[in-house]
Amino acid sequence: MGILPGTQRAWIGLNRTGVNRTGVNRSGVNRSGRRAGEKQPDLLAIASRLYGDDPYRKPEVYLREYERLFAPMRDQPIRLLELGVHRGISMQVWREYFPSATVVGLDSDPAPANFPAEERFHFIHGGQDDPALLRRAIEAAGGAFDVVLDDASHLGAITARSFAFLFEHGLKPGGVYVIEDLCTAFTSGGDFDAAPYAPPEIGLPGMPRVFPSHEHGMIGLVKQIVDHGQAPTAAGGYTRYPIERVTVMTNIVYVHKAE
Ligand SMILES: C[S@@+](CC[C@H](N)C(=O)[O-])C[C@H]1O[C@@H](n2cnc3c(N)ncnc32)[C@H](O)[C@@H]1O
């Protein structure tokens, strides 16, 4: 009970569930059960608790980078798409970390049992490179995403198809596209489109003018993205990928879309 009349509800910005646009209810508690001003656990703390010893857990180095990237948008009503859901643990992490976000998870396997049941979570079943499904993901979220995070196939060619569609049609201007596990480009002998890790020497006398380069899988894709990132200088304007900045870290890349 204790329901406010509609006019008062509108005046203080509460919706029908008594939660306002920043996810805070009348008692000052947000969707994660935190009170305003209460110190929030960081992403690493949340993920460590939820993943436990899951072998697919996101490595600590990613989580520390993501904390820096995501902290400014933590309480905003952002839209986030993650390609690759697996047991649904990262979905549980986003549920706690982003109390006001709309989140879509896509996987070629069926939804896991613990996929969050809240209305703001949506599951899409199918291949990460199917444009019809990616369009459905955008519709489910109610528009283009602030963050797209690819943790699915880790195959360069398939990852590239998702990027080509989503960076153009599914990412907001100013949004960020994150690709994880670039190291799979060097995991030869497995299912990945990889080649053995063989970094060329840098700058030795007699080096060829065309630099030998790793052109396979995920690393080959990152190099293509870097090429497109140079278009405003080299070609006098963006290609169909308006890339403002590419940040390559150990095993993850951020591709920032121009405003
Ligand atoms: C590393 S797991 C995802 C882990 C999850 N993001 C997390 O952090 O808890 C990779 C997932 O990608 C899915 N996957 C692999 N290839 C895919 C594809 N081509 N399209 C969609 N999902 C794919 C797998 O079924 C698997 O569940």
Q: What confidence tens digit (pLDDT) does each residue in 6-30 have?
A: 222 222 223 333 334 444 555 666 5
Pairing of strands 243-248, 252-257: antiparallel
Nearest CA to 246 out of 233, 232, 259, 227 is that of 227
Q: What SS3 state is found at 217?
A: helix
Q: Please tell me the residue having the least CA distance from ligand 1 atom 17.
A: 153
Structure tokens at 230: 């140079």
Q: Which fold has domain 39-257?
A: Rossmann fold (3.40.50)
174 Cα: distance to centroid of ligand 1 (angstroms)? 26
Mutational test site, ligand 1, from 43, 130, 151, 184, max ligand atoms within 8 Å of CB: 151
Cβ neighbours, 10 Å, residue 125? 14
C-alpha span between 145 and 137 (Å, rounded): 9
- 71-122 pLDDT per residue, tens: 999 999 999 999 999 999 999 999 999 999 999 999 999 999 999 999 999 9
On average, the pLDDT of the chain sits at: 87
Q: Please tell me the residue having the least CA distance from ligand 1 atom 8.
A: 90
- 148-187 pLDDT per residue, tens: 999 999 999 999 999 999 999 999 999 999 999 999 998 8
180 Cα: distance to centroid of ligand 1 (angstroms)? 11
Q: What SS3 state is found at 28?
A: coil
* Residues 240/168, Cβ–Cβ less than 8 Å: yes
**Any residues with Cβ below 6 Å from ligand 1, and which?**
56, 58, 82, 84-86, 89-90, 107-109, 127-128, 151-153, 158
- 31-45 pLDDT per residue, tens: 555 666 678 899 999
Structure tokens at 26: 């009348």
Structure tokens at 111: 């939804």
Residues 6 or more apart whose CB falls under 8 angstroms from that of 86 comprise: 56, 107, 109, 112
What is the sign of the dihedral through the CA atoms of 3, 121, 124 and 242? positive
Active site residues: 154
17 to 48, 94, 119: CA distances (angstroms): 31, 21, 12
pLDDT at 33: 58
Hey, where are the domains in the chain? 39-257
Tally DSSP H helices, then E strands, for the chain: 8, 7
Mean of the pLDDT values across residues 46-68?
96
227 Cα: distance to centroid of ligand 1 (angstroms)? 27
105 Cα: distance to centroid of ligand 1 (angstroms)? 10
